Each structure stands twice: as structure tokens, then as C-alpha cells.
Amino acid sequence: MTTASQTEFDVEAVRRDFPILSQRLQHDRPLVYLDTAATSQKPRVVIDKMVECFEHYNSNVHRGIHQLGDRMTTELEAAREKVQRFIGAPEVDEIVFTSGTTMSLNMVAHGWARKFLKPGDEVLVNAMEHHANLVPWQLAVKATGATLKFIPLTADGRLDLTNIDALITTKTKLLAVTAMSNVLGTINPIDELAQRVHAVGGLICVDGAQSVPHDITNVKTSGIDFLAFSGHKLYGPTGIGVLYARKSLLEAMDPFLAGGHMIREVFEQTSTWADPPAKFEAGTCAFVEAVALGTAIDYVQSLGLKAISDYEHQLSAYAHRRLAEVSGLRVLGPGLEHKGAIASFVVDGVHPHDLSDLLDREGVAIRAGHHCTMPLHDLLEVTSTARASFAFYNTTGEVDALIDALQGARKVFRLR
């Protein structure tokens, strides 16, 4: 496993840790994977860890009184501790394993919002949110009689905090916000927002799907009440995610799913719940995937999140400079000082789906569509966008391949 120094990031050495990146596609094209915001590729150590679990000690957790079950349970709980340290959570019992960011946010919407919101209360969101951090709150306010309010966006796609004191009031019970937009790359001021909403007695729920894999997250110092993120964007497996919540909140929340493991006692007419996190982990969790998520965290930490962040920022800056060379191409979102390593763009005269298809023929994988942010695209007055998203395993050479493919696509469409 590669270890990157703090002064020099050896991207070629890192790339050798990811088996998929060395493959050739149709017409002998090298894979240029620029879709990490949708899902990340997996290092060999994560793949090997999953194989190890299945081959040597696969067994259901928290149940079997035998060697395999004991080993698997030990590995699972060790992974929970890794997550705790990774995000700076005060207690390990504040880490709930879920199926992903969407499940985590729905847990808060169902277990907390539907229980505690009432008519007159307000939930504050904004138009850049992924549907997973918008639709659950729409359903929650509809069920409780609360109101959904929106923080406006600036012209360059940042939160407009000009009149924030009029938006965050004593009626604000929850502020739901992404730490980093999956379309614009906008990095939001989580610490400041947490302070403001706490000052009026409200809570903050952070969608960390895009931010947690790319920069340091500390829920304690940032004052985050709820944090959701996914393993598959953190170079780990699919089907595993995390909900962090302060222990007092988990204790007060209702369980989202009911069944085995989450109970303390079951009677004919009623049941009592286990303590968190078991209270929110009904049934058989994705235990192999959770263990492999712990391995992914080990891998990321071996490289250093600061080194990752610095390298990705440099790569993103290079990509934005090169994209500016493409005639008729417009990158959406704020300047580099306010965004992560994502570039969503439109090209005059070319639909993003057609553009993505043409790039794919050159081995360049980008995303095209509304990226589960329809309100944002309505605000931008576009139906869809093309998105290139970068990770620490991408190179400037791959950015050049993207630009060459874009220039080639313009020729296909005979654009001047």
C-alpha cells in the first residue's frame, strides 16, 4: 500500500493501488475515470479485505457464539472505532452503520424530524442540495405541519448569507446542508452555519457524501449534530454508509427500521429498544462492507487527508485552466477558492448526454444529467450538465485527455 509524503504526492504510485485504473477499454483506449463524485474506485487493499472476510471468517455479527462470529464482530466494531476517529466523534456509540447517505438522512427525517417537528417550526435548506437532502425534509414537514424554507444562492452558486439572521430564527429547528455540492463543488461554511443555528436552539444536519472523502472532517470542532456519508464515495464498498449523531439525539430519536438486533425486549403487544447504535441497526447489517470501509479509511489516512486535499486542489485548478480553453464551454459554480475538485459545465450546442457519449468513445468517463439536483438545474436554467469530478488518483495527463476529447466532440458537432 502506497504512503504519500506530506511534501510530494506520488500519484503514479497511488494509481498502482487501484487495479481498475490500468485497464484498457474498447479500441484500446485507456480508462480516464472522472466520475468519482458518483462513486470512487477501490484500492487493492479494500478488495482484498472483502475477499479475506468471505474466505476466512464470514459469519453474522453480534449473534454467533463461535470463533467465526467472534472474529467478524470484532472486525466490525473495530471498523466503527475507525469511523469514530476519522470524523472526530466523541463516542463510538454515536456511529451508526447504514446503507449509505440516503438512508442516513432518512433516519434523521423519520426518527428525529417526524417526532419533534410541529406546526410553526421551520426546516432550512437550499437549492444546491442533492435530492437525498431535500425530499426527506419535504416529506417530514408535510407530515408534521412544519415549513420548508430556502437559503438563496448567489449568482456564482454559493449560499447567500446576506440576510441569514432573518432566515435562521427561533423557528428554525433544523438546518440541512451539504458540506460540498455534488454539482457546483461549492464548499459551504459548516462551522459558521452550525454556530448560527445553535444560537437559536436549532440543529444542523450535514450531507458529507462529497466532503468527507476529500478533506478533514471533525464533527466535534465543527459543531455538527448529524452527519451522513457513504462508503462507496470514500474508496470503500457500496451498500455501507454512516450516520453520526450526538448520543443524546440518538437516544431521543425513534428507530427507523424494526426487527432483530435493535430490540431490548419484545412482548406480544410492545417492545423496548436497544441502546444506540444497535437501536438503528435492525437486521443483518452489511458487515463485510463495514469492515472494508474501515480498511478504506486506513488507506486514505495512510496518504493523509491534507495531502489528498492539496493535490486535488492543484489538479482541479489545472483542469479549470484547461477547460477555459474550450470554446463555448461554461463551467458552473464559484471560484476555486470556494469549491472542491468538481467541474460541472455546459457546452453551447451540445446536449450533455451526447457529450458524455462521445467522450466515452475516447475512454473518458464523465457524468451527464441533473445529478439528483433538479431545483438547482431549474435555478441555473439548464436541463442537465456535464460533470467531471476528480480524485487523488487522477492526473494532469487525464485532464489533457478530457480536453482533447472535448475538442474532438466540438468538431463532430461542427462547432466554431
Segment 115-174, tens digit of pLDDT? 999 999 999 999 999 999 999 999 999 999 999 999 999 999 999 999 999 999 999 999
Asked if 374 and 357 count as a contact pair (C-beta separation under 8 A), the reply is no
Amino acid at 29: R
What's the CATH superfamily of 11-30+305-412? Aspartate Aminotransferase, domain 1 (3.90.1150.10)
Give the 3-state DSSP-derived string for 59-82, with helices as H, strands as E and coil as C.
Answer: CCCCCCCCHHHHHHHHHHHHHHHH
Closest to 96 in 3D by CA, of 282, 210, 244 = 244
| Span between the terminal Cα atoms of the chain, in Å | 47
Q: What is the pLDDT of residues 239-266, one digit of tens each?
A: 999 999 999 999 999 999 999 998 999 9
| Assigned CATH class of 48-301 | alpha beta
Is pTM beyond 0.85? Reply is: yes
Asked if 101 and 228 count as a contact pair (C-beta separation under 8 A), the reply is yes
Average pLDDT of the chain is 96
For 36, the grid coordinates are 468519482
The CB density around residue 129, as the number of other CB atoms within 10 Å, is 23
The CB density around residue 16, as the number of other CB atoms within 10 Å, is 14
Asked if 19 and 44 count as a contact pair (C-beta separation under 8 A), the reply is yes
Closest to 158 in 3D by CA, of 192, 133, 191, 186 = 186
For 79, the grid coordinates are 471498523
The structural domains of the chain, with segments of one domain joined by +, span: 11-30+305-412, 48-301
Q: What is the pLDDT of residues 74-84, one digit of tens each?
A: 999 999 999 99
For 373, residues 6+ apart whose C-beta sits below 8 A from its C-beta are 127, 128, 129, 130, 131, 181, 182, 183
Q: What is the pLDDT of residues 287-302, one digit of tens each?
A: 999 999 999 999 999 9
**Cross-strand bridge partners of residue 230:** 241
Place of cell 458537432: 413
Asked if 349 and 413 count as a contact pair (C-beta separation under 8 A), the reply is yes
Q: What is the pLDDT of residues 313-350, one digit of tens each?
A: 999 999 999 999 999 999 999 999 999 999 999 999 99
Place of cell 471468517: 57
Classify the phi-psi angles of 168: left when phi > 0, otherwise alpha if psi is within -120 to 50, otherwise beta: beta
6 has pLDDT over 60: no
Is residue 285 annotated as part of the catalytic site, yes or no? no
- How far, in Å, CA of 239 to CA of 33, rounded? 21
Which position among 53, 205, 285, 372 bears the catalytic label?
A: 372
DSSP state of 168: S
